[in-house]
């Protein structure tokens, strides 16, 4: 037995077993690469050894290159060298896969003669999700094993496939249910008598005579689906090279394109996103060992737009959930919508009938609040009215069992006030889902003054369990996301009052990469939602001293133009196709309002539109950080990428501003402030960062 820190090998029955031991995911760090070459050399030199099995210890086979080494000088041996050594091994090698062999991990496996896997394995080349392309031969070996179409689909989407798909595609040779090592040993023994063993780089039959239209088709699809992204296009070019060049020339082309992507903003932004998403799970004052409350059943109160979607999240992962409505009629309506949502998924072939039945059987309806009595978590999703929420929580408190998490889906209301109506405010927490709640990944978790550490830790864990991306926020009006969004929308309306056209504002934001512009979002969410919130703000005297920019939005609501649901809002919508069309009346309304308010209208260029909207987010984000309602700037980036359709590849609103240069951002803000002082409150946090030449990191 030869021990290396992150790789070790042993010999069982004349078969060498090389094992990666680099928890948690066996990333291919420098010491692992070194250990792999050393172990292989020793096994190759050992006369006794006839064949070799390559495995990963713990939860997965190698899950890729070590992302934290990116941007640092490459320490030899690089992964290409490791794979070359494996491919040239004198003794046949089988890679025995489990967990998530991804990126460099799968590339390494493709450098072995054979691959076998446990049935639950998910394998893929997810590099484009980090703004790069496979850089250790993945774009050259995968098409040789699986064919060009499959390789393009896997590499440009980055989505892993399961073991049975990999078997069908020719990426792996055999699938086992269990006993991976024993089965892999038997497998390699069964191959020992073969005269030669397959080497992926030498295969040519799947890359010969490829119709080059396929590359055009994929490029077209990517340009539509992944607007603004470059790495998937580079990936297509690299795969194309596999069909046109000799293997080693193709590998050089891949390297060139990899470097181009690696040095791009797209990549640094996406890597920032990868680590930020994981960082968001770490709450400085909540130790890892904090007790987690078990959650085996749930209840959702209110089965409207949000409640139905929230309930689906529980059913999707097998947690039984009771939904409570205040009448049988509303309950039937709510459940029907859930059923329709699932049926649509079945119709698209993405869910089986059995799965559908199983999920529906986990969702029970009730009209009495008593039915929450056995739930481990209760999520309240009734109308956004403080008096109603308080009344609900007073009643919930009397029925819910001990240790039950009492969550509210409020989007703006004060969690502490809601908690006060219970005798256990330490169990009350905000779980702000985003619409549609069964689809959107973000879960903003709102910590009240009294929320206990156990409840926060358990809710963060629950968010991961139901496959959401959680971000912890403090209890301010609108929390992180909506507080910033409020300022962003206010800025959009100010721009429209000052002379920019609604469609131009939306175009600039869409072209920047957002899923849609601010007016289109208003129409989608329903303009009446913001209207109700503004009325409450007015009653509370909130923002009374600030310039009011929602006059046109209010007028549209008074006319019943709530947006898509009424086929008219800031745009006109075709009732059948939902296709939107510019409404010239709306621009005229802005002109009229500007006149009444004495606003001098002018031409506003795209740059000003983009920067005023982007810096409105940034300035508010900095205020949230200064006031301690967000833990870190990167949490805000995660919030925007997963909850608001902000382009991930721009790194989030804080990261984008930082890349632009915080000093220049502040100069822009100061110049905007000259004409619009109350739209640009001074933020000490931002000014201090600039003064001290610091960044958010
Ligand atoms: N490098 C460095 N660290 C990594 C890593 C990687 N490739 N993959 C995961 N980690 C770290 C995470 O940052 C996290 O650290 P933390 O606990 O300190 O926050 C820890 O490992 C656990 O990760 P997760 O919480 O994500 O664990 P999960 O079990 O939920 O998911 C996973 C595991 C599916 C492997 C997921 O981590 C993942 O998708 N990782 C990235 C995989 C990837 O992109 N591989 C390709 C890398 S690029 C490449 O290989 C280039 C090559 O072509 C040359
Ligand atoms: P909704 O109006 O679609 O649904 C509310 C449901 O609650 C209705 O079906 C109603 O019958 C039910 N209800 C009212 N009183 C009840 C009671 N006493 N017992 C049981 N059920 C009762 O509202 P929506 O949009 O689902 O909003 C719910 C909550 O989610 C609100 O707090 C809202 O601010 C928040 N939210 C809404 C988002 C959205 O985009 N719609 C996004 C994020 C949060």
Write out the DSSP string of 262-293: HTSHHHHHHHHHHHHHHHTT--TTS-TT----
| pLDDT surpassing 60 at residue 264 | yes
The reported pLDDT for the residue numbered 548 is 92
Average pLDDT, the chain: 96
Q: What angle do CA 205, 208, 213 make, to 5 degrees?
A: 135
Q: Report how far ligand 2's centroid is from the alpha carbon of 314 (Å).
A: 18
The reported pLDDT for the residue numbered 236 is 98
Q: Helix-strand-coil percent breakdown of the chain, rounded to 5? A: 50, 10, 35
Q: Report how far ligand 2's centroid is from the alpha carbon of 177 (Å).
A: 45
Taking the C-alpha atoms of residue 238 and residue 255, their distance in angstroms, rounded to an integer, is 9
Q: How far is CA 345 from the centre of its chain?
A: 20
Report DSSP state, residue 323: E
**Could you identify the atom of ligand 1 that is nearest to the CA of residue 126?**
44
Which of 45, 347, 53, 322 lies closest to 179 in space, CA to CA? Answer: 53
Average confidence (pLDDT) over 39-46: 98
| Closest residue CA from atom 20 of ligand 1 | 24
| Mutation test residue for ligand 2: of 313, 381, 438, the one with most atoms within 8 Å of CB | 381
Query: Which stretch of 68-72, 133-137, 683-687 has the lowest confidence by average pLDDT?
Result: 68-72
Query: Helix H segments across 96-179?
Result: 104-110, 138-146, 148-157, 163-169
In three-state form (DSSP H/G/I as H, E/B as E, the rest C), the secondary structure along 186-247 is HHHHHHCCCCCCCCHHHCCCCCCCCCCHHHHHHHHHHHHHCCCCCHHHHHHHHHHHHHHCCH
**Could you identify the atom of ligand 1 that is nearest to the CA of residue 64?**
50
| Closest residue CA from atom 1 of ligand 2 | 304
Q: Report how far ligand 1's centroid is from the alpha carbon of 101 (Å).
A: 11
Taking the C-alpha atoms of residue 492 and residue 513, their distance in angstroms, rounded to an integer, is 17
Confidence band, pLDDT 50/70/90 cuts, at residue 212: very high
300-317: pLDDT as tens digits: 999 999 999 999 999 999
Ligand nearest to the CA of 231: 1
Average confidence (pLDDT) over 655-659: 97
| pLDDT surpassing 60 at residue 4 | no
In whole angstroms, how far apart are CA 157 and each of 125, 152, 273, 443, 649? Answer: 9, 8, 17, 24, 14
Confidence band, pLDDT 50/70/90 cuts, at residue 71: confident
Q: Report how far ligand 1's centroid is from the alpha carbon of 123 (Å).
A: 13
| Mutation test residue for ligand 1: of 23, 32, 60, 64, the one with most atoms within 8 Å of CB | 64
383-396: pLDDT as tens digits: 989 999 999 999 99
| pLDDT surpassing 80 at residue 1 | no
3-class secondary-structure state, position 546: coil
3-class secondary-structure state, position 612: helix
Average confidence (pLDDT) over 183-197: 97
Burial grade of 623 (CB within 10 A; 0-12, 13-18, 19 or more): buried
The helix-helix angle for 551-558 and 481-498 (nearest 10°) equals 90
Q: Report how far ligand 1's centroid is from the alpha carbon of 26 (Å).
A: 9
Which of 98, 67, 62, 60 lies closest to 82 in space, CA to CA? Answer: 62
Is residue 155 a contact partner of residue 128, using CB atoms and an 8 Å limit? yes
| pLDDT surpassing 60 at residue 31 | yes
Confidence band, pLDDT 50/70/90 cuts, at residue 529: confident
Question: Residues with beta carbon inside 6 Å of ligand 1?
Answer: 24-25, 27, 63-68, 79, 100, 102-104, 107, 126-127, 130, 134-136, 138, 278
Ligand nearest to the CA of 255: 1
The reported pLDDT for the residue numbered 538 is 87
Q: Which residue has the higher pLDDT, 266 or 2?
A: 266
| pLDDT surpassing 50 at residue 2 | no
Average confidence (pLDDT) over 643-658: 97
Confidence band, pLDDT 50/70/90 cuts, at residue 40: very high
| pLDDT surpassing 80 at residue 127 | yes
Burial grade of 605 (CB within 10 A; 0-12, 13-18, 19 or more): exposed
| Mutation test residue for ligand 2: of 300, 301, 304, 433, the one with most atoms within 8 Å of CB | 304
Q: Report how far ligand 2's centroid is from the alpha carbon of 381 (Å).
A: 5
**Could you identify the atom of ligand 1 that is nearest to the CA of residue 130?**
44
| pLDDT surpassing 60 at residue 3 | no
Taking the C-alpha atoms of residue 661 and residue 658, their distance in angstroms, rounded to an integer, is 5
| Closest residue CA from atom 4 of ligand 2 | 304
Average confidence (pLDDT) over 487-503: 97
The reported pLDDT for the residue numbered 546 is 85
Domains of the chain, first to last: 2-265 (3.90.226.10), 298-473 (3.40.50.720), 481-628+661-691 (1.10.1040.50)
* Beta-sheet strands, E only, within 423-500: 428-433, 442-446, 469-473
| Mutation test residue for ligand 2: of 300, 302, 479, the one with most atoms within 8 Å of CB | 302
In whole angstroms, how far apart are CA 114 and each of 37, 193, 203, 692? Answer: 18, 15, 13, 56
Report the share of the chain in percent with pLDDT over 90: 94
Q: Report how far ligand 2's centroid is from the alpha carbon of 129 (Å).
A: 35
Catalytic (active-site) positions: 107, 127
Confidence band, pLDDT 50/70/90 cuts, at residue 46: very high
**Could you identify the atom of ligand 2 that is nearest to the CA of residue 389?**
32
Average confidence (pLDDT) over 582-602: 97
Taking the C-alpha atoms of residue 189 and residue 192, their distance in angstroms, rounded to an integer, is 5
Report DSSP state, residue 444: E
3-class secondary-structure state, position 407: strand
Q: Report how far ligand 1's centroid is from the alpha carbon of 456 (Å).
A: 24
| Closest residue CA from atom 9 of ligand 1 | 25
Burial grade of 439 (CB within 10 A; 0-12, 13-18, 19 or more): exposed
- Sign for the CA dihedral angle at 378, 383, 388, 389 comes to positive
Question: Residues with beta carbon inside 6 Å of ligand 2?
Answer: 301-307, 324-326, 330, 381-384, 409-411, 432-435, 525
The reported pLDDT for the residue numbered 23 is 97
5-30: pLDDT as tens digits: 899 999 999 999 999 999 999 999 99
Q: What angle do CA 635, 390, 624 make, to 5 degrees?
A: 20
The reported pLDDT for the residue numbered 311 is 98
pTM above 0.85, yes or no: yes
Ligand nearest to the CA of 274: 1
**Residue 405: both structure tokens together:** 């998490």
The reported pLDDT for the residue numbered 277 is 97
Backbone torsions φ then ψ of 364, nearest 5 degrees: -110, 145
Q: Report how far ligand 1's centroid is from the alpha carbon of 275 (Å).
A: 9
| pLDDT surpassing 80 at residue 152 | yes
Taking the C-alpha atoms of residue 647 and residue 229, their distance in angstroms, rounded to an integer, is 10
**Could you identify the atom of ligand 1 that is nearest to the CA of residue 278?**
19
In three-state form (DSSP H/G/I as H, E/B as E, the rest C), the secondary structure along 571-601 is EEECCCCCCEEECHHHHHHHHHHHHHHCCCC
**Could you identify the atom of ligand 2 that is nearest to the CA of residue 525?**
40
**Integer-rounded Cα radius of gyration of the chain:** 28
The helix-helix angle for 481-498 and 502-512 (nearest 10°) equals 130
Average confidence (pLDDT) over 469-479: 96
The reported pLDDT for the residue numbered 189 is 98
Average confidence (pLDDT) over 92-118: 98
| Closest residue CA from atom 44 of ligand 2 | 411
530-545: pLDDT as tens digits: 898 888 888 888 777 8
Taking the C-alpha atoms of residue 39 and residue 54, their distance in angstroms, rounded to an integer, is 10
Is residue 41 a contact partner of residue 53, using CB atoms and an 8 Å limit? no
């Amino acid at each position: 037995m030869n021990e290396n820190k992150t790789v070790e090998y042993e010999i069982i029955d004349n078969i060498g077993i090389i094992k990666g031991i680099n928890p948690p995911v066996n990333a291919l760090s420098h010491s692992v690469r070194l250990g792999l070459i050393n172990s292989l050399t020793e096994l190759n030199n050992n006369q006794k050894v006839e064949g070799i099995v390559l495995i990963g210890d713990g939860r997965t086979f190698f899950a890729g290159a070590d992302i934290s080494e990116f941007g640092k000088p490459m320490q030899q041996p690089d992964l290409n060298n490791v794979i070359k050594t494996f491919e040239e091994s004198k003794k046949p090698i089988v890679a025995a896969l489990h967990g998530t062999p991804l990126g460099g991990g799968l590339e390494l496996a493709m450098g072995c003669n054979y691959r076998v896997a446990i049935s639950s394995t998910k394998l893929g080349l997810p590099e484009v999700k980090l703004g790069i392309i496979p850089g250790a031969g993945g774009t050259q070996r995968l098409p040789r094993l699986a064919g060009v179409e499959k390789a393009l689909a896997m590499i440009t989407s980055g989505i892993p496939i399961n073991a049975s798909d990999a078997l069908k595609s020719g990426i792996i040779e055999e699938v086992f249910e269990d006993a991976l090592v024993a089965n892999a040993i038997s497998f390699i023994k069964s191959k020992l008598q073969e005269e030669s063993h397959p080497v992926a780089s030498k295969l040519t039959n799947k890359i010969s005579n490829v119709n080059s239209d396929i590359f055009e088709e994929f490029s077209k699809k990517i340009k539509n689906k992944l607007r603004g992204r470059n790495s998937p296009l580079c990936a297509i070019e690299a795969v194309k090279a596999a069909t046109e060049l000799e293997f080693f020339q193709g590998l050089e082309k891949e390297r060139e394109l990899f470097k181009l992507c690696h040095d791009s903003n797209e990549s640094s932004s996406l890597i920032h996103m990868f680590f930020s998403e994981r960082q968001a799970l770490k709450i400085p004052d909540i130790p890892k060992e904090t007790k987690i409350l078990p959650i085996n059943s749930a209840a959702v109160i209110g089965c409207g737009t949000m409640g139905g979607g929230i309930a689906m999240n529980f059913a999707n992962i097998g947690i039984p959930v009771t939904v409570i409505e205040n009448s049988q009629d509303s309950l039937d309506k709510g459940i029907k919508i859930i059923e329709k949502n699932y049926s649509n998924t079945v119709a698209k072939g993405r869910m089986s009938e059995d799965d559908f039945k199983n999920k529906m059987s986990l969702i029970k309806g009730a009209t009495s609040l008593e039915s929450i009595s056995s739930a481990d978590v209760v999520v309240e999703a009734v109308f956004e009215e403080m008096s109603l929420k308080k009344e609900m929580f007073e009643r919930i408190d009397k029925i819910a069992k001990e240790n039950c998490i009492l969550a509210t889906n409020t989007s703006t209301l004060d969690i502490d006030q809601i908690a006060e109506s219970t005798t256990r405010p330490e169990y009350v927490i905000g779980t702000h889902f985003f619409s549609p709640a069964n689809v959107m990944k973000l879960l903003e978790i709102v910590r009240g003054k009294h929320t206990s550490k156990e409840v926060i830790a358990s809710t963060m864990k629950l968010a991961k369990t139901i496959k959401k991306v959680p971000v912890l926020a403090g209890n301010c009006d609108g929390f992180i996301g909506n507080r910033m969004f409020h300022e962003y929308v206010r800025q959009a309306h100010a721009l429209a009052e000052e002379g920019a056209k609604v469609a131009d504002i939306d175009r600039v934001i869409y072209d920047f990469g957002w899923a849609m512009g601010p007016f289109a979002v208003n129409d989608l969410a329903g303009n009446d939602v913001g209207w109700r919130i503004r009325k409450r703000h007015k009653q509370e005297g909130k923002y009374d001293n600030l310039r009011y920019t929602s006059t046109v939005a209010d007028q549209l609501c008074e006319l019943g133009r709530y947006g898509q649901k009424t086929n008219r809002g800031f745009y006109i919508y075709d009732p059948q196709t939902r296709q939107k069309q510019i409404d010239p009346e709306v621009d005229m309304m802005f002109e009229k309002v500007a006149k009444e308010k004495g606003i001098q209208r002018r031409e506003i260029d795209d740059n000003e539109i983009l920067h005023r909207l982007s810096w409105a987010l940034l300035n508010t984000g900095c205020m949230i950080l200064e006031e301690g309602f967000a833990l870190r700037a990167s949490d805000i980036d995660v919030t925007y990428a997963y909850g608001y359709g902000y382009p991930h590849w721009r790194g989030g609103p804080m990261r984008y501003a930082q890349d632009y240069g915080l000093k220049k951002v502040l100069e822009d803000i100061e110049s905007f402030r000259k004409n619009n002082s109350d739209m640009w409150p001074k933020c000490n946090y931002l000014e201090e960062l600039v003064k001290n030449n610091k960044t958010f990191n």
